Structure 1
């Protein structure tokens, strides 16, 4: 072995030591509570996954297998549980930075750290959304109490049905009218320019 190989081994050993560091019995409280950088990165990616991809995680997603590289646009993906799982795993690999891919498979705590951070962020986000419901729907003359009541109330509220595009009028679009500057005229130039969102 030459010096370059020894340096590589030293750097690999140092990285492994940092990732798997277990504080000794005499460790102070700060060391015991300090998250390592890998855990922090996993938590950050879990929060991003919640906000940008999925509000819920498929239970069997972890422990993660190697990337199955399935085509996310293939409709056959939705026909079986295995197809859904492979599609979700491919999507997860696409959103997680490449330098964490190996850790997804080798780091045994990856799944539990990811799921825990995802769940914690989901409860935080739900409270924020619920608290903002009044401000979000006030311009559309929808009472925030509508969403805390019985489901039957929503079926009878004309303003709510219009925002959900379930009023039976006009062509269905997958974009909610609330995302546009003028919900009555959903034009490309007004997309994501709702006064509430801006």
Structure 2
């Protein structure tokens, strides 16, 4: 895009460009020049919308956290329908399947300044993964209230266990996505002792 031509929804275009670079080339390749080149705009466009590159990256992470929170609302609404194992497997696949969440975690780990900036508003845990664990915990608590999980099911331990296992399944960008059955198998193993519903 030539310099001087306005971008429609510049923030989203820049975020999408950053995600493509992150997924294709990893966090080391993510620079302001790479992002604006990928988005097809002048470098000044990014700095017109964000104070600096770390501010841009922090907003990208916060935007993706908002998406996880929206996914959590839909997941909680599914409590009592389908199977617990199936719902959890679908949630992990949606969360990690595009590899965006995996890439964001790598980015946060890679950039000290970004991590420090995010710590101002999110002092504990790894952003995105912490919100994902909260999403799973809320869903499991809803299923426990409905009697589809054991009354003593420790959702605060099960949820990070599921997130960690899901992250490991999807973390290898080169190997491609795991098969749906592999995701279901891991979920079933984690929740086997607490699920109180018939196996389909």
Q: Same fold (TM over 0.5)?
A: no
TM-score normalised by structure 1 residue count = 0.33
Bigger helix fraction: 2
